[in-house]
Structure 1
């Protein structure tokens, strides 16, 4: 379902860019129209992260996140590319990126990894990290949890099904859960129901454990639950995670506002200075954390 919604959004963006190009071609010439079309196609796609950067500007990063202007600009450009790749190349065409091959049996030395996408995202967003994990010899599967605007507890039920499917396919006793953004909250809601029986460890990346002000702009029950101070978050945070948990977050995350909402009592914490919300998943520290958690010693 999410892939279809993203495909529709992509078609609308192309149509808007086409109209812009046609108007430019009529006003100037065909060459100018093509240029405007290409610029509009890119601009419409990166408008969301740029808006998020603007809305989060009042939440300055902590002093430890100081960096040169050149490095900050580079990080923003990397985030815009990561967002564009996620929502234009990968997610609308999830079927093209899906690996159909069956997962091999679990190794005695590693624990399978299940990657959980966040709000308005599907399994394809994980393809870059998934490829790196598999190149490192890990069993890494990703899940799409539908319907997209349901309550987080309902999505946790879908996660329960995905965990059981992965365990049955690999013969493993437990999995490592890795959640991005709302995916971390889905994983915690699953753990609150099922406990630690099926999960060896949890890694959350850019997860608003205490909510995000930008959720006020979102649609669906899940967005309402992610609003700061929501009753759902208060209940979730009333008890610590029942498994070893590692929260990895960025001091310049443009979608988690305030940024330290990603802090979680009782969890190990890694704070990165520069990556954005989606660029965070390309950070080598995330790969290292997942490899460490999935390595049975």
Structure 2
């Protein structure tokens, strides 16, 4: 569903841009060009607002706030990367690398994306895992705007598939809301069925931005909300599994910064990286995949 939705948005946006430019070109080429520039800069403006909010809110967080130059660099990086993810990988490339389940006795991976994403988000990871002949399943969380609790069965099915192929508990790698979905799965699951859970920019204690959420899963990520309080009360389940939590002081979606960490977990700073950018950072990917050998 996410792929179709984003395909419609991308193609619809292109048609609108072409139509607008065609109408105005004969009247005023300058207006046509400036309009196209303004259209392409819309997402950078939204990102800038997010980074400003993150910087201000993080001033009250116990973890050190990023420096302004770091935030600017992260904003530019996210402005470049986000269109590739949301306008290409996810809408048009989500099935380019299918799930891979070799029976080679090596530990496999289950990849769980975040809000408004699909398995295409993991494209660089999937290519690397496939080249290494490592078993993996990348899930699509449906319904897109449903309860996070509903994603537990999808994760369970993926774990079963990887385990059946490798005879080993897989490692879960989760981005953003995907980490909360993994915790929802863990609530009623046997923790020995997974080797480790790695979260990347997951709002373990909610995120300030979720106050603007209107979908079911968006509201569930509100700081201090009913769903977050419930899963916080069930934190004992997280102590039964090894967690590695990547967090960033420049996360433009999940803030305050400390909300992406868990007490007692292997919390690792992706210094100066934006929310989507974290999952595309080569060092983060390398260190995460190295955990398969532990």
Give your verdict on TM over 0.5. Answer: yes
Aligned partner of 1:161 among 151, 157, 168? 157
* Number of matched pairs: 289
Deviation at 1:99, TM superposition (A): 2.0
One of 197, 219, 224 as aligned partner of 2:214 = 219
Match of 1:119 in 2: 115
> Which moves more between the two structures, 150-159 or 37-46?
37-46
Once residues 269 and 100 of structure 1 are traced to their aligned partners in structure 2, the CA distance between those partners, rounded to angstroms, is 31
Q: Please tell me whether the aligned partners of residues 213 and 257 of structure 1 are also in contact (alpha carbons under 8 angstroms).
A: yes
What is the Cα deviation at residue 213 of structure 1? Answer: 1.8
**What's the secondary structure of 1:204's corresponding residue?**
strand
Tell me the TM-score normalised to structure 2 length. 0.88
TM-score (norm 1): 0.87
Q: What corresponds to 1:149 in structure 2?
A: 145
Question: C-alpha separation between the residues in 1 aligned to 2:199 and 2:147?
Answer: 19
Give the match for residue 178 of structure 2. 183
Structure 1: runs of 5+ lacking an equivalent: none
1:204 paired with 2:199, answer: yes
Three-state SS of the structure 1 residue aligned to 2:250 is coil
What's the CA shift string for 1:39-84, capped at 9, x where partnerless?
Answer: 3453244454333224334224678555573x54333221112211
Structure 2: gaps (5+ residues): none
Matches within 5 A, 1:18-97: 18-29=18-29, 33=32, 35-36=33-34, 38-40=36-38, 42-60=40-58, 64=64, 66=66, 69=69, 72-95=71-94, 97=95
- The CA deviation at 1:98 is 2.6
CA–CA separation in structure 2 for the residues paired with 1:60 and 1:266? 22
Q: Deviations over 1:202-236 (max 9, x none)?
A: 00000000111211222321111101111211121
Render the CA deviation track for 1:139-196: whole Å, top value 9, x for unaligned.
333111111011011011221122222323x233311001100000001111111131
**Root mean square deviation of aligned Cα:** 2.5
